[in-house]
Amino acid sequence: MDALAFFSSDVFAYIMLPALIFMARICDVSLGTIRVIFVSRGYRYLAPLLGFFEISIWLMAIGQIMRNLNNVAAYLAYASGFAMGTFVGITLEERLSLGMVILRVITKKDCSPLIEKLRAEHYGLTMLDAEGAQGPVTILFTVMKREDLPHVVGIIKEFNPHAFYSVEDVRTATEGVYPVRPGGFFRSYLDPQRFFRKKK
């Protein structure tokens, strides 16, 4: 009887229920954001799995909204949870650092020290001589794991602080030259991406 009274109380209707809807929306929108990113990167098996949990949580949240159509607090919690879930999803994806990126560097300064440094750390490089708006430039291309990007950008800023660079996502990459990390074999073998990425 006490439990029934609690679920019928204003405290539950205007505090507990909106809080639960807010948390549910954060979870399902975060999963949805990551799922879309996984789809774009070819994770054939992991993306549907996330989609299952995403839609299950969403159905529970929307079900509570439909049962409480006169509860304005539930509406506000639903919308706020969507906004926060988008932010959380993007933040999680950045922290996971999944996939590969291509880094393009354009520099006017002699970039021999930068090239030597990157090659010393076993990053594969492709170099092109080109003509920029203000004269000759050198363009460097390298493909790397996303998790290595902050480290490489730090090297660029150290050797060529005024160099222009851009970063693009890479869906797949083969036959590349990448740094070997400590425990690299086991890390690569146990990496869940090798099981969930779409096979070519």
pLDDT in tens, 68-84: 878 889 889 999 999 99
pTM beyond cutoff 0.75:
no
The mean predicted confidence, pLDDT, of the chain is 81
pLDDT in tens, 2-57: 666 655 666 777 788 889 999 999 999 999 988 988 887 777 888 899 999 999 99
pLDDT at residue 200, as a whole number: 45
For residues 102 and 190, the model is more confident at 102
Stretch 162-169: mean pLDDT: 89
Give the integer Cα–Cα distance in Å for 177 and 133. 31
For residues 185 and 19, the model is more confident at 19
State how far the alpha carbon of 40 is from the alpha carbons of 33, 96, 154, in Å: 11, 15, 28
The CATH architecture that domain 100-179 belongs to is 2-Layer Sandwich (3.30)
- When pLDDT is cut at 50, 70 and 90, the band that residue 195 belongs to is very low
Give the integer Cα–Cα distance in Å for 157 and 125. 17
Give the integer Cα–Cα distance in Å for 159 and 116. 11
Give the integer Cα–Cα distance in Å for 163 and 175. 27
pLDDT higher than 70, residue 138: yes
